[in-house]
Each structure stands twice: as C-alpha cells, then as structure tokens.
Amino acid sequence: MTERVRTAIRVEGVVQGVGFRPFVYSLATSLGLGGLVGNDVNGVFAEVEGDPAAVDQFLASLARDAPPLARIERITTAAMRPDGTASFAIAPSEAGSQRRTLVSADTATCEDCLAELADPRDRRFGYAFINCTNCGPRFTIVRDVPYDRPRTTMAPFAMCERCAAEYRDPADRRFHAQPTCCPACGPALSLRGAAGAVLPGEPLAATAGLLRQGRVVAVKGLGGYHLAVDATSETAAAALRARKHREDKPFAVMVADLAAARQLCEVDETAAGLLASSRRPIVLLPRLPGTGLAAAVAPGNRQLGLLLPYTPLHHLLLAAVARPVVLTSGNVSDEPIVYRDSQVAERLGGIADAFLTHDRAIEVRTDDSVVRAFRGREAVIRRSRGYVPEPLALATAFPRPVLACGAELKSTFCLARGNHAFVSHHIGDLENAETLRSFTEGVEHFRRLFDITPEVVAHDLHPDYLSTKYAANLAEGRVAGAADLAGVELMGVQHHHAHIASCLADNRAAGPVIGVAFDGTGYGTDGTIWGGEFLVADLAGFERAAHLAPVPMPGGAAAIRQPWRMAAAYLDAACPEGQPDGLDVTRRNEALWPGVLQIARRGVNSPLTSSAGRLFDAVAAILGVRDTINYEGQAAVELEQLADPGEEGAYQATVGADYPFKIFGYELVRSVAADVTAGVAPGVIAARFHNGVAGLITACCLKLRERHGLTTVALSGGVFQNLLLARAAAGRLESRGFSVLVHSRVPCNDGGISLGQAVVAAAGGRPR
C-alpha cells in the first residue's frame, strides 16, 4: 500500500455562494479522498487526504473544473501530516465576519434550471423564480454579509421541507443556494391593473396577452422595473415613447434566443458569445434591413441593442409572447429606474397599462449592462447588472484603501483595497436628489459588503459636481452614516487624466503613454472646459501636451443643448473674414444667429472650450442632422449614423508648431461648410469629417512621439463610443507603428472615471 498524504488547500476569489463546497465535496469523494472543506473570511479552505496520485488529480481538477460562477484568483497548498481520515465532510461556517469574501454578480438562469423549468414532471415546472448555486439573483438581493439567506431579500420566505433538504445536501445542485425556492415556498407573480387591483388569470399568460394586444406592461426584473411592449407593434412602441417622454433614444429589445437575435441583427461569433454569456448584457449590434421591427424602437439607427432572457420570468414571458419584446428601463425621461414596489404606481402609473410584479424585494437598483464587440473584444459601455460587484483585477495593488467619487454624468464610484477595485453599478446622471441618494447609499452598501474604510477620497476638480461636494462633505464629517470618514485625505484628479488612467488600468498598464481624451466636458486645471486633450500621462501625473484650439460656447450650457450655437461659434472661428452664404443652419436659426455670434465674440456667457464633443455637435448642426438635442451626445451619435462607411476621403487640418500643440479643428469645419455649399452628399461629408478627426489625432500623436519618444497611445473619453472614429483612429495609429490601448472592462465614457481616479490616487497623483 502506498503512503498516504494530506494537503491543505486555500482558494481565494469569488468562491462563496457559487457551489464551490459541493464541487469540492463531490470531487474529493469521487477520488476516494478523506478530509474537509469549508468557508472562512478569506474564501474556501480544504484538506484532502489519501493516495498521492488521487490528491494530485484532485489539485489538477480544482481550478480546471470549478463551478461556472467561481472566479478563482489564487490557490495555495501546504503539506500536512496525514491523520487517517477516510471520510469527507463539509465544515460548518464560522460565525463572525466573512467580509473579505466576494459577493458574486447576478447570473442568468443555467441550463440545468432551464431544463427543469420546461419539464412538466419537475416540481419547479414553469416557476418564474427557479435558481440554483450556478445561477440566479445575487448582488441585487444581498442586504449584508456574510452572504446567507437571512441577509438577503429572500429572508421572508421560509424554505419548505423539500427545498430545505436540497439546501442541506452537499451532493445537491442547490446545496447552500441562498435564493433557492419553489412554488410551495417562494415568491409568486401577480398581474395588477393600473389602479392596483389584481387582474384575473395566470399572470404570465395574461401579460403575454396584453403585450400581444399592444399594451404597455411594467415588468419587475432583477434590478428594477422594465417597461415592455411588443417590438413589432408600431402603435405600441410609439405609445411607449410618448408616455415615457423619450423622443429618440433607442429602446433595447429582448429576444428568446440567438436564432431570434440573428433574424434582427448581424451576430458574429464575438457578439454571440456576449449575448449568450451568463452576464446577459444588452449587446449593440448592426441591424439587418426589413425585419418587421417597429420603426419607433430605434428610429434612424443602424444599430440595435439586443439581449437574451436572463431570469426564468423572462424565459417564460418571451416564450408566451413569441415575438421580440421592447424591454426598457422603467422610468420617466432621465430619472433613475424604479425598483421599489411602493413607488411603482406613482412613478409608472401614467405609462404602464398593467404591472407584472412579485413579492421578492430588490435591494439594489441595477440597470441592464450595455456592451458591444470592438476589435474582437468586449467593450463595456454601461457596467451594471451581471458585472457588478465583481472586482476588477489590476496590475498593481492599492497601498491604502481608496474611495473614488467619479464625475457627474453616467456616474459610478469605486472602492478599492489590496488587489481589488470594486467599481459600482451605473448610478446615472448625478444631477438630482434621487440619484445623489442612490450614490450615497451605494457607497455605504459597498463599504459594508467589502469592509473598506477609505484612507483617501478622490474626486473630480469640478467644484460644482455633486460628487465633488460629496467628497468635501465626507471629509468634514457631514455625510450621515459616514461620520467615521471625517478628516479623510482628499485628492482632486483632473477629469481627462482620470480617463487615461482608467484606460491604463483597464489594460493592466501603467504608462507613460500619449493619452487622447476626447469627450464633451471636463474641468481643466486652468479653469476652462477641456475635452479635446492629448496628455503625456502615467498613473501618477500628466502634462497637457496638445489640445483642440478653444472656441467659445455661446450661452454656456445652452450650447450643449443646442448644437447650432456651436455651429455659429465654429463657423466664426473657421471663416473670420465672413461666414459662407447659403448654409441652411444659418437660415434655420436666423433670428438668434447674430445675437449668438455677438455674445461669442465678446465672451459674454461664452466660456472657452477645447471639447471634441462640441466640434462634433457643430458639424452635426451644419450638416442639418439636428439643431437641438434630446439626450447627451445625440448629435454626434446621429452624425456617425449619417456617415457613409465607404467614403475614404478626409478633411485636413493643422497641428500648430508651438508646444503644447494646438490643433485647429475649425479647419475641418471650414471644409465641411465648403462641401455643404458645393452640394456634396451629407453622408460623404460626415465620413470625411470623421476621417479628418482620425487623421488629426494621428498627426498630433506623431509630433508627440517625436518630442517625447512614446509609442503607445491610449484612447479614452465618451467621444470614442463613436465606432467609426475609434476604428479610423486606431487603424491609422497602428499603421504608423503605434500600439493602441482601448477600453474593454470599463466604459470609455464617464462611467470609467471613478476607476481612473482610484488608480491615480493610489499612485499618489499630482498635477505636473
């Protein structure tokens, strides 16, 4: 008989609440090993004892065959003295703090649960809340840690005998599945009318009936309420748009499966992987023509956001409706998504004809995530449900715990300690009391879940952002529930430096790089509004090496809402000897044009900006795309849609000779105006403009490479959500020998700012 060995094993990462202990149990018993497995504050520990070959086989399988939701960060082993144990046991959980362990993200219904859902002999057949250790709600139901049922919104549901038996059985797929339940003991659906009365009939079938009749139904999901309509019904989609006061922004569409997705959009392999992943984000895809989808779903858009069902409720609903369904955030206009049952009637009563709801509470408001494929990788545009609160692994550790407060639009915060950066779910535009409350409560919730007490708090330089004020209030001990942070060290981080640092952290890089940060608005170190910036930057600091030549924003914020004002300012800069005659944009706005020119020239309420977003706005207005916008970035989005992808021409513009270099974006505008006057097709002009901007970026980076010797370029800022520009810029840069870093795990827009602030603070950031 060979000698027995015993090995102690520690597994760190997302390994609790994901079926790790039953996996270890069945692996060990199948190999005839004795020992134990348990959870503690650092993750999972195990000891296995037996034949050396079997122990080796156990160790080899441990990482390779781990349960699908586990995210193993590290496995360490140590030899022990065998004690003759032949049986294998699951050790009871220790009482006390388990906060260093990680809460997993919400996860789409697994194949095993789907099979049971569809099996008439199964006791959970057709049950809208089926889940197991491999799938189901997590982050959205967790109230506190350690993660177990009494600390989730499943607490009010006492398990029935059969569910409890599965929960206790280490060999069962539902062993310690905290949200497990069945029709006998778990949550139940109800369909209510606009007045709150329960409607007759089986709720899912009745909901499907209403949708097929063209009604608007509010549907309670994982992180909030959605508004649903039949995506093939023109009147239903138009009614939803009108009631929601959402004039143009595209709606997302849920389809039953990949085959249904392929009937609406081009779905390549990368996109299929994203659609079907257990995170189940909305994936932006190129639309196919003539699909029978209502025009009001995504008016004038070449792209469509699709997602597959991610809860059993969605699977059942889509099967019953048997058509694509619009599934958009349950809110009015730009308010946060409704997630509390008590607010639904008041806030969605004027929009929805009925409410498909249930009695499991949502703890954390979480929107659907939005992604797309870019350069063969996932590019996250909104990081929320399915991704959060999974930490981002970075190249270097945080020497001390950090809270980063983000910016204003598409707000997120980031708490970081050790090797982990926890970027929050998308909170929305931090412009009102409701989103500020979500932000404040979110910070508290994350601090509790991950046991982080920040020693430094990073914030934007903009003095008027609510996130900046929040940081100041924290340090002064004026935030309720966070009085312990009074006196905490504050660190202001310049907006575009945070963008570039975010792109570096996203790519596990440290720089220095040439950072191209193109966005709408960011507060500069000189008090002007930046947004067309070339920074020579690393994590610790930056130098403003080049930027778009500033132009006035006539009327300040009004110029953001009314791109035609930027057209006036840019045309004035482009043609100082007199603006070209016969431009429609001038004619359309002739009553106000001279006054706007006057305040721009005199600098009255016309702050200077180097914003790239405003340059795109100006060109959009000149091309007649639109004079006013209904949502942030709309003019630029539509300009991209207009551009003819086959046009290779590019307008030229100059990079100035003096350092820091100025880039004369208005020269592009001069070419745009000339081609408009000459009657060139708008799609061709839009493409030549995009190519011109990409050419300018490349020309400027070449000058900076000559001066600084840097060969890597990081592209960040919301303007790079523009695929046409991002592709053209990255392609041109690579053809000139640059390595190009783009975002993948966090958004290039302001949703990524908090991560950038956190890594700058960790590096001891300072302006140079």
d(CA 237, CA 231) in angstroms, rounded, equals: 7
Contact with Zn ion (CB under 5 A) among 103, 163, 414, 623 = 163
For Zn ion, the closer CB: 19 or 522: 19
Contact with Zn ion (CB under 5 A) among 33, 55, 110, 218 = 110
At 540, is the secondary structure helix, strand, or coil?
A: coil
Contact with Zn ion (CB under 5 A) among 31, 182, 293, 748 = 182
Are 519 and 496 a contacting pair, CB within 8 Å?
Answer: yes
User: In sequence order, which ranges of 603-681 are alpha helices (DSSP H)?
Assistant: 612-622, 634-642, 666-677
Number of helices and strands in the chain (H, E): 23, 27
Return the range that interacts with Zn ion (CB under 5 A); candidates 111-119, 147-155, 215-223, 747-755: 111-119
Contact with Zn ion (CB under 5 A) among 5, 18, 36, 132 = 132
For Zn ion, the closer CB: 172 or 455: 172
For Zn ion, the closer CB: 134 or 722: 134
User: In sequence order, which ranges of 4-140 are alpha helices (DSSP H)?
Assistant: 20-30, 52-64, 111-117
Contact with Zn ion (CB under 5 A) among 113, 326, 568, 585 = 113
For Zn ion, the closer CB: 117 or 253: 117
Return the range that interacts with Zn ion (CB under 5 A); candidates 17-25, 42-50, 113-121, 672-680: 113-121
Residue 135 is a binding residue for Zn ion (CB under 5 A): yes
Relative to beta strand 303-307, strand 217-220 is: unpaired
> If we measure between CA atoms, which residue out of 63, 67, 54, 2 comes closest to residue 28?
54
For Zn ion, the closer CB: 164 or 509: 164
d(CA 708, CA 535) in angstroms, rounded, equals: 11
DSSP notation for 596-625: HHHHHHHTTT--EE--HHHHHHHHHHHTTS
For Zn ion, the closer CB: 185 or 723: 185
Q: Which residues of 213-227 are buried (b: 16+ CB within 10 A; e: fewer)?
A: ebbbbbbbbbbbbbb
- For Zn ion, the binding residues in 185-214 under the rule CB under 5 A are 185
Task: Identify the H or E element spanning 382.
Answer: strand 377-382
Contact with Zn ion (CB under 5 A) among 80, 91, 155, 160 = 160
Minimum CB separation of residue 107 from Zn ion in Å reads 8
Return the range that interacts with Zn ion (CB under 5 A); candidates 182-190, 210-218, 468-476, 594-602: 182-190
Return the range that interacts with Zn ion (CB under 5 A); candidates 158-166, 230-238, 646-654, 741-749: 158-166
Amino acid present at 573: A
Contact with Zn ion (CB under 5 A) among 134, 140, 232, 562 = 134
Minimum CB separation of residue 320 from Zn ion in Å reads 21
Return the range that interacts with Zn ion (CB under 5 A); candidates 66-74, 102-110, 472-480, 701-709: 102-110
Residue 184 is a binding residue for Zn ion (CB under 5 A): yes
For Zn ion, the closer CB: 185 or 361: 185
Residue 592 is a binding residue for Zn ion (CB under 5 A): no
For Zn ion, the closer CB: 23 or 570: 23
Residue 177 is a binding residue for Zn ion (CB under 5 A): no
Q: How many residues bind Zn ion (CB under 5 A)?
A: 10
What size, in residues, is the chain?
A: 768
Which residues are within 8 A (CB) of 529 and not within 5 positions of it... i.e. 6 or more apart?
Answer: 521, 522, 523, 553, 607, 608, 609, 610, 611
Are 615 and 534 a contacting pair, CB within 8 Å?
Answer: no
Minimum CB separation of residue 161 from Zn ion in Å reads 8
Q: Which residues of 702-717 are buried (b: 16+ CB within 10 A; e: fewer)?
A: bbbbeeeebebbbbbb
Q: Is the dihedral of CA 541, 543, 546, 550 positive or negative?
A: positive
Looking at 200-281, which runs of residues are DSSP E strands?
A: 217-220, 225-230, 252-254
Minimum CB separation of residue 358 from Zn ion in Å reads 15
Are 198 and 289 a contacting pair, CB within 8 Å?
Answer: no
Residue 80 is a binding residue for Zn ion (CB under 5 A): no
Minimum CB separation of residue 132 from Zn ion in Å reads 3
Binding site for Zn ion (CB under 5 A): 110, 113, 132, 134-135, 160, 163, 182, 184-185
